[in-house]
């Protein structure tokens, strides 16, 4: 995993652990001050960063995700789906703080550690099926019928 910042028209890899920690803490403080329960960083290619849009407030974050408070909890399964947690935060708190100036590059579902040894296609499908039963998918079906 690597951490990158956009500086004017260039990218810079951040390797100093203290600098990464400072960015994480600053982002957490901004998110908490805004009343968020969740925060994270830009998930696509950092070259797509727009200087006029340094933060997003209505998106989902993944990979590296910060949780503020204990009001909203992750799903209780192996996959701990980030998007479900973010959608719940958007529904309840109305804001998910995404700092678009920084990004963590990582290989999704390929990293060692965490739940990697427990992931398999059958469990993944079960997790997807239970996600489809959540209120977000139910509400989407109701809206699409209108």
In-domain check, residue 116: no
In-domain check, residue 102: yes
Task: Provide long-range contacts, Cβ within 8 A and 24+ apart, for 104-111.
Answer: 104/1, 104/2, 104/3, 104/4, 104/41, 104/63, 104/64, 105/1, 105/2, 105/3, 105/4, 106/1, 106/63, 106/64, 108/62, 108/63, 111/1
Beta strands in 9-137 (DSSP E): 10-14, 38-42, 55-56, 65-67, 97-105
In-domain check, residue 7: yes
In-domain check, residue 141: no
In-domain check, residue 12: yes
Domain assignment of residue 12, given as a range? 2-109
In-domain check, residue 129: no
How many structural domains compose the chain? 1
In-domain check, residue 92: yes
Q: Would you state the pLDDT for residue 43?
A: 82
| pLDDT mean for each 10 residues of the chain (146 residues) | 61 85 94 93 79 88 87 70 81 90 71 58 74 64 58
In-domain check, residue 73: yes
Query: Torsions phi, psi of 63, nearest 5?
Result: 75, -90
């Amino acid at each position: 995993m690597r951490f990158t910042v956009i500086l004017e028209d260039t990218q810079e890899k951040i390797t100093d652990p203290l600098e990464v920690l400072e960015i994480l803490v600053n982002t957490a403080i901004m998110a908490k001050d805004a009343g968020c329960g969740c925060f994270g960083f830009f998930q696509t290619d950092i070259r797509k960063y727009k200087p006029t849009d340094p933060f997003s407030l209505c998106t989902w974050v993944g990979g590296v995700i910060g949780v503020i408070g204990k009001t909203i909890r992750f799903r209780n399964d192996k996959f701990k789906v980030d998007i479900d947690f973010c959608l719940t935060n958007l529904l309840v708190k109305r804001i998910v703080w995404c700092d678009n100036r920084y990004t963590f590059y990582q290989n999704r579902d390929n990293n060692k550690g965490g739940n990697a040894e427990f992931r398999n296609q059958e469990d993944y499908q079960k997790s997807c099926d239970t996600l489809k039963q959540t209120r977000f998918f139910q509400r989407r079906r109701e809206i699409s019928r209108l």
